[in-house]
Amino acid sequence: MPSSALDLLAAHRFFHDLPPTELETLSGSLQRCRFPAGDLPFRSGEQARRCLLLGDGEVQVLRFGLDGEERVLGQFGRGELIAVAALFMADGRYPASARAQTAVSGWWLPREALHRLCAAHPALSLRLLQSVSGSLLRSVDLGERLAADSCAQRLAGYLLEQRGVQGSDDLKLPLRLGQLAASLGMRGETLSRQLADWRRQGLIAGRGTAVTLLDADALQRLRSAR
């Protein structure tokens, strides 16, 4: 097993304090995998027999809503584990699909290996539970924002969040505009119209997924308005 897999496991927040022998055993259970850009490592409804440890590349997790719109639930990069929670679900199936945004290499971590570790190390089980609880809380918060905020407020909040993540007013949005609209609970036409309005008002510049914030303070006031 390449040492990079062991290094990624040892650095991960779930496994960082496991004994070296356990990490070696866990790394020995990993199965190498590669996917070209656009491929689906797993699909919603498939049997969840393994989760994915990313070595290189980027992966989006997504599902389709009742309206047929694609909703991106998360974006993952090097060293992250994808679909851990699915390995503990009662129906044993992936609740969403994964798509390689770039060429991806990584390792499959079998469900049985993770279950064995959790049984032997209660602290690991607790960290997994805390992670799932955090995801649930974020989903609840998102639901409240979708119910309480206007489309403009949601979009302003997203752009400001990306500003914090990317550390710049010159943003490269990680989602296509159609995906972004669906994730913010609005139609694509509404998103495009709002961006065009803000460009005319001098709040932003750019086209497509390249957006420059020209007046972040104004966006913050809009985001906070009630």
The pLDDT of residue 133:
79
Q: What is the pLDDT of residues 4-51, one digit of tens each?
A: 899 999 999 999 889 999 999 999 999 999 999 999 999 999 999 999
Angle at CA of residue 210, ends 205 and 214, nearest 5°: 30
CATH of 3-146, one of 3.40.630.40, 3.30.56.10, 3.40.50.12780, 2.60.120.10: 2.60.120.10
Q: What is the pLDDT of residues 81-94, one digit of tens each?
A: 999 999 999 999 99
**At the top level of CATH, which class does the domain 149-224 belong to?**
mainly alpha
145 confidence band (pLDDT: 50, 70, 90): low
Share of the chain above pLDDT 90, in %: 64
Q: What is the pLDDT of residues 33-42, one digit of tens each?
A: 999 999 999 9
pTM over 0.85: no
The pLDDT of residue 195:
95
Q: Which of 107, 116, 96 is nearest to 34 (CA)?
A: 107
- Which amino acid is it at 15? F
Domain regions of the chain by residue span: 3-146, 149-224
Q: pLDDT at residue 146 above 70?
A: no
The pLDDT of residue 176:
81
> Is residue 159 a contact partner of residue 145, using CB atoms and an 8 Å limit?
no
Q: What is the pLDDT of residues 122-144, one digit of tens each?
A: 999 998 888 887 776 666 566 66
Residues in contact with 3: Cβ distance below 8 Å, sequence separation at least 6, in sequence order: none
Q: Which strands make up the sheet holding 59-64, listed edge to edge?
A: 70-76, 59-64, 97-100
> Is residue 66 a contact partner of residue 129, using CB atoms and an 8 Å limit?
no
> Is residue 145 a contact partner of residue 37, using CB atoms and an 8 Å limit?
no
